[in-house]
Structure formats: structure tokens, C-alpha cells
């Protein structure tokens, strides 16, 4: 039978037989609904896995130029706008100077924010895909968000192991095990799921809940045991909770009127609430490819809008009661040049220095690594890292060419991957423990 576009998207979101909707309705992981015998016999997941919003762009935004760790050297150029002036930033117990705009993030958010200095080792926009693969540091040629999604899917009980991309931009295309993943947008999700016909609002989720739980309970009664029955009861969503969830999702979906960064974040939270995927890839701009940027005005406005999106995200997470369950990371194709004399009216590409931003319950407020000129007159690059302290140190045990891998390993630890899983999947660098919450 030929599927129309709406049915194809619903199938992609919720799996064969729309098992994801049954999981949403019952609260029971999709794996158990698909195969009760195997799912109930499996060892319960351990640890504290996180959903992940992963922002990336092939533009190479100048985030690295105004982050903590760049204001101590007077030869590093910063915009003259007051919002970019050097300002003490309190990251939990860590203090550092940064662009003033970063201080507008709520204190509770800054306390779980890490600015991680590293290189991406390329100056080419089309290398975005290679950078997402961490220039070969991820085993098997997998992309970092795809590897994290695959490893988190079981413990989070999501319908899909694959990540989902919501920017709609081909330049941020995500591959999973070599296969390109669909490019969706918030308005596409809204059109499909909030539609007055054949959308989420037309689904009788309460009936679906009762039917699915009855089937599971019959299985547990006939072939299972008391502990499995208790396990099902523990997961079961009440009808009141379900109606509240459905109404909240429909309201959120109806509010998605565009494909902006704010809408991408909101759509990501909806997908997490539905347990569709562990990782959603978005695009939050912070100034873009600013070669010709008079007085760095585009950089200023980009930072202002980017931080504003992060502030809205923190409020949306709080409203959805997901603040402790969702981590945010922003990693782009490369950073920008910083030598003051060359940066008055724009910046060039920098393969040696980039700053990845991480925010989440598994993150400790910190600045990892640093930046310096390798020689007089040379463009700035990330320092090696002393993994025991997180400081940038020319004699650090994480050399410059492994700082990228160290970032990937640290993010992996922050979202709940085990040390064995991390070492198997990321081949260079070391976990920087001072960046992690204890």
C-alpha cells in the first residue's frame, strides 16, 4: 500500500504499528511493547542517561572569540559593543571573564555550563560532516550525535536509535551507520501531529493505553511473574497524566509557527517527551560566516539572539520538567580567527581553535583548556589540556591534536555513557573529569 507523506512521517516518528504512540500512551518502553518476553527479561538500565539537543552549523560561528578564556590576552579582538565587554562570569564556583552577554544566562544554568576549548583541524565549510565524525575520532566513521543516539536509545527507551535533524538544512545533514537521516522542520511536525485530522489530537490515547496495558498484564499473568507485573505497573501512566500530556503536547505543537531556532528547540522537547529519539540536531546561530562584518556587528547580534534562544530553552526545559533530563551541546565546523589587527571588520576560518558549549545536569560549571599563539604573529590555537585539572597547559597530557577527542569523550560521559562505551567509541583524547558534575 502506498503511504502518503503524513503516514510516512508518522511511521518514521513512531515506528511500525505506531508503537511509539502506544509507548507514549502507556509510559512503557517501546522495546517491551515490541517484544514483552525479551523486554521484560532484560536487565533494567542503569545510570542517568540524558536526552541531547545538539546544535551545529557549517558556517563556523565566532563563538570561540568571546568565550571565557579569551579575555586575558589583549591581542585577541572582541567587538566594541557593550554586550561583548569583558565581564566576570560565575560558572558555579569557577570565575572567568567573558563577553557580558553570557552573564545574562540564569545563574542555575551557568552553574552547569562548560566552555571547552579545542581544535577541529579544518577550515573548510564542506567538512561539516567530517567534523561531526570528529575527523575520524569516532569509531566506525560514525557521527558523534549518531553514536550518542545509538548508545542512549536503549536506556532512554526511545522508539528510534537514530538522531533526528530539525534545521531542515542540508549542510547539517546527519548520517546514521552510513545512511542519511531525514531533514525535518518544526512546522512539518506541527502540520502532521497537530493536524485536526489524522493528527495526535484525533488519537484515542486513553483507549490505546488501556488496551496495551491489558495485553501486557495478560502476558505477565500467563507467562511472566509478579516482579514483571510490578514492573509494568511502575511504568504505567495514569489516564489523568496522559490527558495532561496529550493536551500539553498539542498546545506546544500548535505554537510552532516557524522553523526558527526557538521553534527547533521546542520541537526537540516535544520529541523527547514522546520518547521518539535520544538526540535532536538543531541550528542556533551565533554570528555565522563573518568574513565581511563591519565592526563585527553581525557577531554581536548573533551572540545576542543565540544567548536569547538559550535563555528561552532553559525556561522551556523548566516548564516541561526536563531540566535534569536534557543536555545541550553546540559544536560547529570550526572557530574564527582572533588576532586583533586582522579582525576589525570580519574574521577568517580557524582550524586550531573552537569552543564547544555544554549545558546539563551532568556538567559542572567550568572552562576547559585555553588558547594561545603557537608563535609570535601566528593565529591562536587551543592549548593542550591537563585532564586532571581541566586547565590549558602546554605540558598537558591531552595534546592539541587530541583536544577534539577529549571534548567528545567528556560530552559522552556527561550524557551517561559508561567509560568502557566511551573508550570503545571515541579513539582519541581523555575524559576531562573537572568538567563533570559529581
Provide the CATH number for the domain around residue 280. 3.40.720
**Residue 392 confidence (pLDDT) above 70:** yes
Among 255, 280, 299, give the residue marking a domain's end: 255
**Residue 95 confidence (pLDDT) above 60:** yes
Same domain, 336 and 416: yes
Q: pLDDT at position 371, please?
A: 98
For the chain, give the percent of residues with pLDDT over 90: 70
Q: 356 by DSSP, 3-state: which?
A: strand
Kindly give, in sequence order, each residue whose CB lies less than 8 Å from that of residue 8, ignoring residues fewer than 6 positions away: none
Rounded Cα distance, 39 and 37, in Å: 6
Same domain, 179 and 246: no
**Residue 173 confidence (pLDDT) above 90:** no
What does the pLDDT average to over 137-150? 98
Q: 418 vs 41, which has greater pLDDT?
A: 418
For the chain, give the percent of residues with pLDDT over 70: 95
Kindly give, in sequence order, each residue whose CB lies less than 8 Å from that of residue 41, ignoring residues fewer than 6 positions away: none
pLDDT per residue over 27-62, tens digit each?
888 878 888 777 666 655 556 899 999 999 999 999
Same domain, 96 and 205: no
Q: How many domains does the chain have?
A: 2
Q: pLDDT at position 261, please?
A: 97
Mean pLDDT of all residues belonging to the chain: 91
Same domain, 267 and 125: yes
Same domain, 136 and 117: yes
Q: 140 vs 249, which has greater pLDDT?
A: 140
**Residue 347 confidence (pLDDT) above 70:** yes
Q: pLDDT at position 119, please?
A: 98
Same domain, 351 and 249: no
pLDDT per residue over 192-212, tens digit each?
888 777 778 777 788 888 888
Q: Domain range spanning residue 235?
A: 1-44+195-255
Q: pLDDT at position 1, please?
A: 39
Rounded Cα distance, 102 and 357, in Å: 11
Same domain, 69 and 201: no
What does the pLDDT average to over 324-344? 93
**Residue 327 confidence (pLDDT) above 80:** yes
Q: End-to-end alpha-carbon separation of the chain, Å?
A: 53
pLDDT per residue over 352-387, tens digit each?
999 999 999 999 999 999 999 999 989 999 999 999
Same domain, 238 and 288: no
Concatenate the DSSP letters of all residues of 266-330 into one string: HHHHHHHHTT--SEEEE---SS-S-SS-GGGHHHHHHHHHHHHHHHHHHHHHHHTT-TTTEEEEE
Q: pLDDT at position 201, please?
A: 77
What b/e readout covers 142-178, taking b as 16+ CB neighbours within 10 angstroms? bbbbbbbbbbbbebbbbbbbbbbbbbebeebbbbbee
Same domain, 243 and 358: no
Kindly give, in sequence order, each residue whose CB lies less than 8 Å from that of residue 42, ignoring residues fewer than 6 positions away: 31
Single pTM value for the model: 0.93
Asked whether the beta carbons of 56 and 281 are under 8 A apart, the reply is yes
What b/e readout covers 345-362, taking b as 16+ CB neighbours within 10 angstroms? ebbbbbbbbbbbbbbbbb
What does the pLDDT average to over 223-235? 68
Helices and strands (H, E) in the chain, number of each type: 15, 15
Same domain, 109 and 219: no
Q: Which of 21, 270, 308, 323 is nearest to 164 (CA)?
A: 270
**Residue 394 confidence (pLDDT) above 80:** yes
Same domain, 158 and 282: yes
Confidence band for 2, pLDDT divided at 50, 70 and 90: very low
**Which CA distances in Å does 372 have to 4, 100, 352, 384, 432?**
55, 22, 10, 10, 20
**Residue 3 confidence (pLDDT) above 60:** no
Confidence band for 235, pLDDT divided at 50, 70 and 90: low
Same domain, 203 and 176: no
Amino acid at each position: 500500500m502506498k503511504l502518503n507523506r503524513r503516514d510516512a512521517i508518522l511511521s518514521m516518528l513512531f515506528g511500525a504499528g505506531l508503537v511509539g504512540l502506544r509507548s507514549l500512551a502507556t509510559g512503557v518502553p517501546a522495546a517491551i511493547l515490541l517484544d514483552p518476553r525479551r523486554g521484560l527479561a532484560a536487565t533494567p538500565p542503569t545510570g542517568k542517561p540524558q536526552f541531547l539537543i545538539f546544535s551545529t552549523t557549517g558556517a563556523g560561528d565566532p563563538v570561540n572569540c568571546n568565550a571565557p578564556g579569551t579575555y586575558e590576552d589583549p591581542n585577541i579582538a572582541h567587538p566594541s559593543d557593550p554586550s561583548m565587554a569583558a565581564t566576570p562570569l560565575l560558572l558555579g564556583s569557577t570565575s572567568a571573564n567573558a563577553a557580558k552577554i553570557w552573564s545574562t544566562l540564569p545563574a542555575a544554568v551557568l552553574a552547569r555550563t562548560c566552555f571547552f576549548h579545542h581544535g577541529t583541524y579544518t577550515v573548510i565549510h564542506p567538512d561539516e560532516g567530517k567534523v561531526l565524525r570528529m575527523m575520524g575520532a569516532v569509531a566506525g566513521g560514525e557521527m558523534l550525535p549518531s553514536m550518542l543516539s545509538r548508545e542512549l536509545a536503549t536506556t532512554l527507551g526511545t522508539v528510534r536509535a537514530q538522531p533526528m535533524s530539525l534545521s531542515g538544512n542540508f549542510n547539517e545533514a546527519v548520517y546514521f551507520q552510513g545512511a542519511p537521516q531525514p531533514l525535518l522542520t518544526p512546522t512539518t511536525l506541527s502540520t502532521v501531529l497537530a493536524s485536526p485530522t489524522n493528527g495526535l489530537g484525533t488519537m484515542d490515547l486513553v483507549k490505546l493505553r488501556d488496551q496495551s496495558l491489558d495485553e501486557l498484564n495478560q502476558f505477565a499473568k500467563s507467562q511472566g511473574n509478579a516482579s514483571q507485573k510490578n514492573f509494568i505497573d511502575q511504568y504505567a501512566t495514569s489516564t489523568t497524566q496522559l490527558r495532561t500530556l496529550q493536551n500539553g503536547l498539542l498546545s506546544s505543537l500548535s505554537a510552532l509557527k516557524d522553523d526558527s531556532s526557538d521553534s527547533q528547540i521546542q520541537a526537540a522537547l516535544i520529541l523527547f517527551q514522546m520518547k521518539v529519539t535520544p538526540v535532536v540536531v538543531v541550528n542556533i546561530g551565533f554570528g555565522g560566516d563573518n568574513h565581511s562584518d563591519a565592526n563585527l556587528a553581525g557577531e554581536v547580534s548573533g551572540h545576542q539572539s543565540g544567548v536569547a534562544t538559550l535563555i528561552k530553552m532553559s525556561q522551556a526545559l523548566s516548564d516541561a520538567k526536563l531540566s535534569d533530563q536534557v543536555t545541550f551541546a553546540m559544536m560547529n565546523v570550526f572557530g574564527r580567527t582572533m588576532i586583533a589587527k586582522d579582525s576589525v571588520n570580519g574574521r577568517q576560518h580557524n582550524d586550531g581553535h573552537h569552543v564547544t558549549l555544554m549545558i546539563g545536569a551532568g556538567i559542572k560549571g567550568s572552562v576547559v583548556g585555553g588558547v594561545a599563539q603557537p608563535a609570535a604573529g601566528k593565529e591562536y590555537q587551543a592549548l593542550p589540556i591537563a585532564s586532571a585539572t581541566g586547565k590549558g597547559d602546554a605540558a598537558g597530557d591531552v595534546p592539541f591534536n587530541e583536544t577534539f577527542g577529549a571534548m567528545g569523550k567528556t560530552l559522552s560521559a556527561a550524557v551517561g555513557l559508561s567509560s568502557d562505551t566511551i573508550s570503545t567509541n571515541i579513539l582519541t583524547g581523555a575524559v576531562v573529569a573537572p568538567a563533570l558534575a559529581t
